[in-house]
Amino acid sequence: MISKRIVLLMFGTTIAVACLTVRGARLHAQQTVTHDVPVSKSGGTVVMLCDGKTSIEVKNLKPGEMMSRAQAQAVSDDLMAKWRRAHPGERWEVAQASPANEGSMAAPAAAPSLSVQQGDTYASFQPRDYKVWKAETDNFVAEGKRVFHDAKALGSTIGVSCDMCHPDAANTHPETYPKYQVQLQRVALLRDMIDWCIENPVKGKALDPNDPKLRALEAYIYAQRKGVPLDYGKH
Amino acid sequence: MAARHKSVETKYMEDRDTVLRGLARLDRRTFLKVLAASAGAVMAKGLVPPHTFQLVNVAEAALDKTTSAIGASGTPPFSFAYVSDTHMYLRTLNQRFVKGAVKAVEDVNALDPQPDFVLFGGDLAQLGRPEELEQGKGVLSMLKAPVKMMVGEHDWFYDMGEKWQELFGPPNYSFDWKGVHVVVLMSVHEKDFWTARKLTPAERMQIVAGLDNGIQSRFEVGEEERAWLKRDLAKVPATTPLLVFSHSPLYKYYRNWNFWTEDAEQIQAILKPYHSVTVIHGHTHQLLFNQIGNISFYGMLSTAWPWPYAPEGLPPLTVQMNRADPYDQLDGLGDGQVNVNKDGLADMMYNLWDRNPVTVRAQYLRSQGKVYRPPAPQFASY
């Protein structure tokens, strides 16, 4: 649901050509996933929406050629129109019209024009950017919460999931890492302990540090300790 | 089981158990027995007094005997053991939780003399499946002493208690024991969150099984059973000591994890006229005790896994147990024994596996922590 809304947000407010290069992956995956764009039969260029399905052919655009801004806008408008015809009644939300987000992921308040520095890259981010970032982060954390509570997703062979000993990730103390872990005889990071738990009490297979599940678990655990001061090395 | 060779360590641990269990209810005869066992344990370990915990505790227990004799009301003292929160999956899926339950059963069977009865504190099964409950009944049937059963939410929400009641009878009942009135409650009723969501029995059970799953309702004894409790107590005079067994704590500790009983205040009001009330509860899997007015509360240990202390709401009288060592699967787990004194008040002995046991005396709670404070943890919660 959320991922669909984000896709819509981007349609509504920006040029679809830019959207092409940015979007497409499942939110928690690491690599940017590219869509297979069909080859143009007329020697032009096929442009695809970030849903990976809707495409139109720009006949006079040879591969490698740039469109003018006006041309790109026209192409993206056509793509959107095509998508909307195919999805009548689909929920539509325009980012700027939405209420502001809460918490530290929210966009900074609009600055009084003369008292605050303006004009650099950071200052140019719009509320919709913050909204997208927050949704991306929340999705990442939500995926971690799902895995944390799901013995099968963790690969447990004995029906044990993390939440059975750590409700709301209690007593995982991510803020205390890195620290020397006597039983491992080395300095451990949070992910080392997650993997230890997966291998031992959960009786599954340790995850690769880059495994999307391990990254999501880490995200969920950190998110539960928001506001707790970092205190690495604490025992 | 056939007789077998015992290692020095096994012998030591057995001697140590005898000592520690004997201490809590010391008369002249058992005092001598304890002394002998204590000496045996010391020799086995190769330690010289006074560096052993045994002799220190003997002195302490002897002192306790003097004080508890004061104000005795003539109720004969007795002991019962408990095993709680075994959370057994079928052994074909998960042997560890079954092993934990069996270990507790062996602990209790090793008690000499045997306790009057064994309270089972609820959550026999993990996901309430009929075959899990049957397996659990099999494990508990190995206990030598009679078993008093109590139900937990993990036993109930797959078939709404059908199989459990078939195996063990009504979930709430009462009986009298040596001058004490004992009430067993079914305190894990939940308001219907499943019908509107069209959940299957398995989905409903899985949600209830998740401590931090906010979809479920809060535990309650409920109106019907509160009325039953009032009727049951109508014939019991206020001077009779009460023992109340409940799976949920019967007070409000931490709502988000259902360490909570929604109608706690109403239950406490029903128990208020009684001079001495002890509530023994399961569900929280940790060293936990509380005093509200005339009511002393003791939480029981689990044999499956320990819960962390909740981020807020911990009763001020509770002395936390050390954080459980994740590298030791028995740490933070255990079983225990409740000793009901002549005055009808109950002391709780937490038999923590792989740690020294902790005894919490009724006098500690009744004095609001002025006497007999249990030792502080070295590592409290993060």
Q: Is A167 on the interface with B (CB under 8 A)?
A: yes
What does the alpha-carbon distance between residue A139 and residue A203 come to, in Å, rounded to a whole number? 27
Partners of residue B126 in chain A, C-beta under 8 Å: 159
Residue A80 lies in a domain: yes
**Most confidently predicted of A3-7, A23-27, A67-71, B329-333:** B329-333
Report the pLDDT averaged over residues A27-46: 72
Contacts of A69 (CB under 8 A, 6+ apart): none
Are A138 and A219 within one domain?
yes
Partners of residue B260 in chain A, C-beta under 8 Å: none
Partners of residue B96 in chain A, C-beta under 8 Å: 158
Interface contact B308-A176, CB threshold 8 A:
no
Instruction: Give me the residue from A158, A163, A168 closest to B94, CB to CB.
Output: A158
In a mutational test of the B interface, the residue from A145, A149, A160, A203 whose CB has the highest number of chain B CBs within 10 Å is A160
The CA–CA distances, whole Å, from B107 to B81, B113, B270, B349 equal 10, 12, 35, 13
| DSSP character at residue B8 | H
- A to B CB pairs, distance under 8 Å: 49
Range of the domain at A12: 2-94
Q: Chain A residue closest to B330 (CA)?
A: A201
Partners of residue B382 in chain A, C-beta under 8 Å: 171, 173, 176, 234
Residue A40 lies in a domain: yes
Residue A22 lies in a domain: yes
Instruction: Give me the residue from A167, A173, A234 closest to B257, CB to CB.
Output: A167
Are A136 and A82 within one domain?
no
Instruction: Give me the residue from B89, B329, B381 closest to A171, CB to CB.
Output: B381
Mean pLDDT lowest among A49-53, B91-95, B207-211:
A49-53
Give φ, ψ of B325 to 5 degrees: -80, 115
The CA–CA distances, whole Å, from A43 to A21, A56, A67, A73, B222 equal 21, 13, 15, 21, 75
How many angstroms separate the CA of residue A133 from the nearest CA in chain B? 26
How many angstroms separate the CA of residue A130 from the nearest CA in chain B? 28
SS3 string, B20-75, reads: HHHHCCCCHHHHHHHHHHHHHHHHHHCCCCCCCHHHHHHHHHHHHHHHHHCCCCCC
Instruction: Give me the residue from B89, B212, B307 closest to A159, CB to CB.
Output: B89
Are A141 and A77 within one domain?
no
Residue A161 lies in a domain: yes
Asked whether the predicted pLDDT for residue A50 surpasses 60, the reply is yes
Residue A109 lies in a domain: no
Residue A209 lies in a domain: yes
Which of residues A43, A73, A94 is at a domain's end?
A: A94
Using only C-alpha atoms, chain B has a radius of gyration, in whole angstroms, of 20
CATH of the domain at A160: 1.10.760.10
Interface contact A170-B310, CB threshold 8 A:
yes
Q: Is A183 on the interface with B (CB under 8 A)?
A: yes
Tens of pLDDT, residue by residue over A94-135, are 544 444 444 555 566 665 567 777 777 777 788 899 999 999
Tens of pLDDT, residue by residue over B35-50, are 555 555 544 444 443 3
Mean pLDDT lowest among A26-30, B277-281, B367-371:
A26-30
Report the pLDDT averaged over residues A169-191: 96
Number of independent structural domains in chain A: 2
pLDDT at B33: 57
Are A85 and A144 within one domain?
no
ipTM, interface predicted TM-score of the complex: 0.79
Are A66 and A149 within one domain?
no
Which of residues A45, A72, A94 is at a domain's end?
A: A94
**Most confidently predicted of A18-22, A43-47, B120-124:** B120-124
Residue A25 lies in a domain: yes
